[in-house]
Structure 1
Amino acid sequence: MLTLEAVEAGYGRSRVLFGLSMTARAGEVVSLIGRNGMGKTTTVRAIMGLNRPTGGRIDFDGRSLSGLAPHAIARLGLGLVPEGRRIFPSLTVEENLVATARAGSGGAGAWTLERVVTLFPRLGERRRQSARTLSGGEQQMLAVGRALMTNPRLLVLDEATEGLAPLIRAEIWRCLHELKQAGQTIVVIDKNLGEMAALVDRHHIVEKGRVVWSGTPGELDASPELARRYLGL
């Protein structure tokens, strides 16, 4: 579904990605893992058109994303849960969810307001509250729910559990497991290898703007030298 081939990108004269390549097949959950500053978020920004690549190709379902604006990429079926949540604090929970909603294909699989609040009951309890009054964990649930309301074919999550309390992290991981069981294709950036081991089909280790290794969580667990060398574990 998603293919990055020899992607180069950066900020001004500073290059961050140096020929990064990765894939995500339909129905897979794949990760980008690595130390801070290695290019994971820049990869996400390149996928979503927020930072246009200077080289290589990014294809989504056989279609090039080159030159497309972020809103056009989103309309193709890519949903983003950005680092730092970035909800609309002046809107209510419900207004945040419906503001960027995009109709799905219909049927039981389509994401609607009621389906999102069923997945995250806390959002249903607070649907009339201003988003700024939510806890950090509730705001993260709202960011995930907002992305789901676009009915994405591919969901991208950038550090969705960072800084959250253990109970809230568990709630986010539960949600991601449910999404995987429903066949959702997901690209996830996270530092919690233990939680990801039961969720992810393939890891991609990013080091200095390149994918230096890819494989299953079991293969990574069987290679402690990889974790020490590239993840600092």
Structure 2
Amino acid sequence: MLTIEALEAGYGQSRVLFGLSMVARAGEVVSLIGRNGMGKTTTVRAIMGMTRPTGGRISFGDHPLAGLAPHAIARLGLGLVPEGRRIFPSLTVEENLVATARTDTRNSNAWTLERVVALFPRLGERRRQSARTLSGGEQQMLAIGRALMTNPRLLILDEATEGLAPLIRAEIWRCLHQLKQAGQTIVVIDKNLGEMAALVDRHHIVEKGRVVWSGTPTELDSQANLAKRYLGI
């Protein structure tokens, strides 16, 4: 579904990605993990058209993504839950959810306002509230719900549980498990290896702008030297 080959990208004269390659197949949940500053978020920005690659190739199915604007990439079926949530604070919860909604009439299980509220009941309870009045965890739920309302074929989550209370993190992981069971393809960036172990099919360790190792959570767990060397744990 998503194929990245020898991706190079950066900011101005500063290069961040040095030939990064990875694949996310339909129905898989894959991760990008690594220490801060290794290129994970830059990879996401390049996928979504927010940072222009200087080399390599990104394709989504049969569609090359190079040169496409972010809105055009989103219309192909890529949904992003960005680092820092970036909800619309002056809009209500419901307005946030419908603002970028994409109707999928061909899919009887398409995401609607009602389905998102069923997944995150707290959003239903607060649907008329201004988004700025939500707690951090509720804002994160809103960011995920907003991405789902675009009816993505691929959902990308960049640090979706960072800084949240344990109970809220657990609720978000529960929802991600439900999405996986429904066949949603997911790319997740997160530091919580324990929670990811039961969700992720394949990890990709990013070090200095390259994928230096990929494998299953079981394989990673069996190689303690990898976590110590590349993840600092």
Residue 53 of structure 2 is matched in structure 1 by 53
Residue 159 of structure 2 is matched in structure 1 by 159
Question: What is the rounded CA distance, in whole Å, between the counterparts of 1:68 and 1:106 in structure 2?
Answer: 25
Residue 33 of structure 2 is matched in structure 1 by 33
1:222 maps to 2:222: yes
- SS for the counterpart of 1:176 is helix
1:70 maps to 2:36: no
Question: What is the rounded CA distance, in whole Å, between the counterparts of 2:52 and 2:197 in structure 1?
Answer: 31
Kindly report structure 1 stretches of 4+ aligned residues shifted beyond 2 Å.
Answer: 105-108
Residue 146 of structure 1 is matched in structure 2 by 146
Residue 86 of structure 2 is matched in structure 1 by 86
Q: TM-score, normalised by structure 1?
A: 0.99
Question: What is the rounded CA distance, in whole Å, between the counterparts of 1:109 and 1:159 in structure 2?
Answer: 27
Question: What is the rounded CA distance, in whole Å, between the counterparts of 1:16 and 1:114 in structure 2?
Answer: 41
Question: What is the rounded CA distance, in whole Å, between the counterparts of 2:99 and 2:84 in structure 1?
Answer: 19
Task: Give the CA deviation at 1:221.
Answer: 0.3
Letter in 1 for 2:192: N
- SS for the counterpart of 1:138 is helix
Residue 14 of structure 1 is matched in structure 2 by 14
Question: What is the rounded CA distance, in whole Å, between the counterparts of 2:204 and 2:123 in structure 1?
Answer: 32
Question: What is the rounded CA distance, in whole Å, between the counterparts of 1:12 and 1:183 in structure 2?
Answer: 38
Question: What is the rounded CA distance, in whole Å, between the counterparts of 2:202 and 2:105 in structure 1?
Answer: 28
Task: Give the CA deviation at 1:107.
Answer: 4.3
Structure 2 stretches lacking a partner, 5+ long: none
Letter in 2 for 1:4: I
Between Structure 1 and Structure 2, how many residues are aligned? Answer: 233
Residue 208 of structure 1 is matched in structure 2 by 208
1:29-83 deviation per Cα after TM superposition (whole angstroms, max 9, x unaligned): 0000000000000000000000010000000012100100000000000000000
Question: What is the rounded CA distance, in whole Å, between the counterparts of 2:183 and 2:52 in structure 1?
Answer: 29
Letter in 1 for 2:126: R
Residue 172 of structure 1 is matched in structure 2 by 172
Give the alignment's Cα RMSD to 1 decimal: 0.6
Task: Give the CA deviation at 1:105.
Answer: 4.0
Residue 4 of structure 1 is matched in structure 2 by 4
Q: TM-score, normalised by structure 2?
A: 0.99
1:137-196 deviation per Cα after TM superposition (whole angstroms, max 9, x unaligned): 000000000000000000000000000000000010001000000000000000000000
- SS for the counterpart of 1:45 is helix
Question: What is the rounded CA distance, in whole Å, between the counterparts of 2:62 and 2:35 in structure 1?
Answer: 31
Task: Give the CA deviation at 1:211.
Answer: 0.1
Question: What is the rounded CA distance, in whole Å, between the counterparts of 1:163 and 1:207 in structure 2?
Answer: 23
